[in-house]
Structure 1
Amino acid sequence: MQTLTIIRPDDMHLHLRDGDALKAVAPYTARQMGRAVIMPNLKPPVVSVADALAYKARIMAALPEGSAFEPLMTLYLTDQATPALVREAKAAGIVAFKLYPAGATTNSDSGVTDLFKLIPVLEEMAKQGILFLVHGEVTDPEIDIFDREAAFIERVMKPVLAQVPNLKV
């Protein structure tokens, strides 16, 4: 029999928040995890490279001395995102953009209202190899809450991927 021991796993979806919550959670996470993809839906959200770098600095300051933990930073995708922002993010080491449809979840008031208007941004993400992390649900009140993810896949995700097939989701 073979065994596999994962000594320093990665957390692919981490909410550290900010302030006291960040200071409380980051040391525990760093004790167990090697890296983590940091979710950007703070108040206010992490929408610029400067925001992400400042947030990363706060995370690093909250870690125990000598910690090898690596926060993998993301940006909160908004209607104002541009291909230039994608290129700037890539150059700064940002690994992903996170989609929150407006009004869908915690701190999503700044979220995307129409993903199809951001096709040029998604094309640049595909070109740059930046990940597209998705909170996938529609917010149409006519759709039952238990069907929102399925409706998102059919109405939004499949058509977007047909237009940007190389997008890393």
Structure 2
Amino acid sequence: MMEPFKVRFKFTQMLKIFWYGSMLTVVCTILFSIGFVEDGGGVIIFQLIGALGLLFFIPLLIFLFFAWVLRRAAFIISEEGITDKTQLYSSGLVKWNEIERMTIGCRHEVTFLTVELYHSDVFREKANPTKRLYFSLTETLSSEQIQIDVSRLAISEEDLISQFEKYSKGRFNRENITENTGWTYDVI
């Protein structure tokens, strides 16, 4: 049995996201605080925007902080499948036999790994309620595909593909992993 292959975040990417998240947290805190200083009917909108922003950015900053301090793996490839931990609400473990197709491509200067499942509804039902809501929103807004931002990972696309080939026992290799999905551009 092979040891799982673990990929960490690029340090500069994490630092950049943490910096922007911190600045947006400050902005949201100011927006939220305006309602306690100013009087007026339109101020409640600023408070609402600030509160929603804080509900999003504070968990993001905590996630990034612990991922950095604990040097946690962001993406794991094993004989069982792939484990996505790149986001707060990532898909988690996706077994090789659940994956119909994978592609890597660039869109707006960001490299994505797109994972299409045989039965996305079964995968969604196995998830906890928070992830289930996230998957439902993603499906409503874009598609049933799992999108993983691999440009944040400290690994090249070539090395990632070779690890997929190794751990999936050749099922996902260079020839069948870079097909165009219809929305990706500049396929690598």
Check whether TM > 0.5.
no
TM-score between the two structures when normalised by the length of structure 2: 0.29
Structure with the higher fraction of residues in helix conformation:
2
Structure with the higher fraction of residues in strand conformation:
2
TM-score between the two structures when normalised by the length of structure 1: 0.31
Which structure has more relative contact order (CA 8 Å, sep 6+)? It is 2
